[in-house]
Chains A and B, each alone.
Chain A
Amino acid sequence: MHILVCIKQVPDSAQIRVHPVTNTIMRQGVPAIVNPYDLYALEEALRLKDRYRARVTALCMGPPQAEAALRKALAFGADEAILLTDRAFAGADTLATSYALSAAIRQVHKGLPVDLVFAGKQTIDGDTAQVGPGIATRLDMQLLTYVSKIVSLDPAAREIVVHRRSEGGVQVLKTQLPALITVLEGINEMRFASLTDMLRAERHALALWSKDDAHIDDATKIGLKGSPTAVSKVFAPTPTNRRAEIIETQSGQPIDLAATLVAKLFSNRPDVALAINPSPTPDGSSL
């Protein structure tokens, strides 16, 4: 069993600030992290490794400094790590990204056939959730997105059964390997890496692949050239002219503030007040 995990290094979006005057992103000092959703994918792959003695390869496309993300994957227990890095990939949208990653996965597959590909449900910087489906489509793998549980895996029959989150419920799906799975947050709890693991990961050889190593001959399919979409502009959300009416009372006591607010709401916005329909209490009575 050979499992490949796609990970991405992303800026920690929780720490991104927009310059108040120029409306540009202030990148300085924003730490790069492994996309948090990808860690669930990695952990799920490592659990299958523990159980089926699978081999786990981590793949990341990004600039040279994305090596840090792969070192982390190695520390947690990935067996191999490949950094797909080439200036020619710059400016790729999701279509061009899935092209490059698929090409790399095909090369990995030639060395040792890939049975499963894992990815996070989306990244926190792009938030598109498009690259996973893109890779599965290009490699003609069965696609299982938003997986909340792996129910069973039968390596001999090459079958996998999963729970897939869908609208209004969970689909229990059975499919054939090879398959690409994007996992939901909370599917597992990430293990810890010991200091020994981290030191071992630092010493581990890391494969650096250029576009040629991934056997990408057609440069019109990657990077900016291979991207059907273009960003025409970036801007800050328009500030509203609104300023909240701040509720004030003479006493300033919470109960008076609350009563004033509720009275205002009921008289100024009767339509909204009517939308308040308290659910019946457990004894059947309602307010």
Chain B
Amino acid sequence: MTSSPAQQKQAPRAAGRRVMKLDERLAGYKGVWVFVEYERGQVHPVSWELLGEGRKLADALNVELAAVLLGSPSDAIRDCCDQAIHFGADLCYLACHPTLKDYRNAPYTTVLTELVNRYCPEILLLGATTLGRDLAGSVATTLKTGLTADCTGLVIDPENRGLAATRPTFGGSLLCTIVTLNYRPQMATVRPRVMAMPVADATRTGRVVEHPVAIVEESIATKILEFIPDDRVAEAQLPFADIIVSGGRGMKRQDNFRLIHDLARVLGAEVGASRPVIQAGWVGPERQVGQSGKTVRPRLYIAAGISGAVQHRVGMDKSDVIVAINEDANAPIFDFAHYGIVGNAMTILPALTQAFTEHLKARKRAG
């Protein structure tokens, strides 16, 4: 949505009198970096999504795309360097040290800041996860540069090679485009599922640049006593769910939410909710979809009793198919849903549960 030429043109003009010209020192900052979130042997998928997006930015700038990986020394982390290259990186900066085994703010901030100061990238992207937001805030403050959170669009302004980062503002009612003035790198975070997952190309090759780490454990005040993994069944896995059934204020009462759960069970879906439902306490905050909740992009999103305020829309409008059920034929959700039923969710939902059950049974019989 930020890629139209007319919009790109506005960026430098609207920044007005403020300095857009870079100091000579800063003009030497080159390349696009993606911080690859590696924890407990796994890379967070948002990092691959960002490499896909970072590739486009690097191509627009005609510079290299680098992945940055921090962790304890292992074969697994080296495999992740290869994967990062398959997902589009030209090179991978790798910092391995026992103190980087699990994420802690202080050592990660130190090492990432060192890397930036040594290699001077012009753009640094991180996932807007609990790790990425924690790290990005500290690194940007240490580097005294600009950081734009939760971006939904990233483009290069052809006139000044700057990054124009678009994000929702005012609780998702509007979008704003933010530029970084005479500071580098330009930092941005992007939420999981906002950018599409790129296709890995196993034939791609690149180089790995190792960065030595000189931190002693005794100098780190924060210790990890334990990691308690989530119960994968009980904990909502909204961002990566294939099917989501969400309820809104139109569900009227908390106990009506069982109708949402009934349909979700039949579809093997996750349950989501809009902000008023969370505020009313009908379901937990981890199930909130929208600007102040999670961004999702399932194959199928069923919205019951949700009007479709921008706050909700920005978190789900990249779903493949959106089905809306609402009593109000003029509800904004019908302007971006694919299929709509105008009716009372309390009667439509049980009917849908029944219809899906029958269809799925028929499909199973058909093998």
Contact = CB atoms under 8 A, between A and B. Distances in A.
B148 interface: yes
Interface string B250-275: 00000000000000011110000001
Interface stretch (B60-68, B200-208, B336-344): B336-344
A185 to B, nearest CB: 5
A134 B147 CA distance: 11
Q: How large is the interface on A (under 10, 10 to 19, 20 to 34, 35 or more residues)?
A: 35 or more
Given A170-B228, A229-B179, A278-B268, A257 B221 contact: no
A235 interface: yes
A170 B227 contact: yes
A138 interface: yes
Of B134, B182, B242, B348, most buried by chain A (CB within 10 Å of CB) is B134
Interface string A69-113: 000000000000000000000000111001000000000000000
B268 A272 contact: no
B155 to A, nearest CB: 12
Contacts of A239: 335
Contact of B299 (A174, A275, A279): A275
Contact of A18 (B173, B221, B323): B173
A218 interface: no
A53 to B, nearest CB: 25
Nearest to B226: A172
A171 B104 CA distance: 10
Nearest to A18: B173
Interface residues of B, number: 117
A145 B134 contact: yes
B84 to A, nearest CB: 18
Given A166-B131, A167-B37, 13 more contacts: A13-B170, A127-B171, A130-B147, A142-B222, A169-B227, A174-B223, A176-B221, A229-B179, A229-B180, A230-B18, A232-B164, A233-B176, A262-B356
27 contacts: A16-B173, A18-B173, A25-B170, A125-B171, A130-B137, A130-B147, A166-B39, A166-B130, A167-B130, A171-B102, A172-B224, A173-B224, A175-B221, A228-B183, A230-B178, A230-B179, A232-B164, A233-B11, A244-B324, A244-B334, A246-B341, A254-B344, A258-B351, A272-B300, A275-B242, A275-B243, A279-B268
Interface of A: 11, 13-14, 16-18, 23, 25, 93-95, 98, 124-134, 136-138, 142-146, 161, 163-176, 185-186, 227-240, 242-247, 254-255, 257-259, 261-266, 269, 271-273, 275-279, 286-287
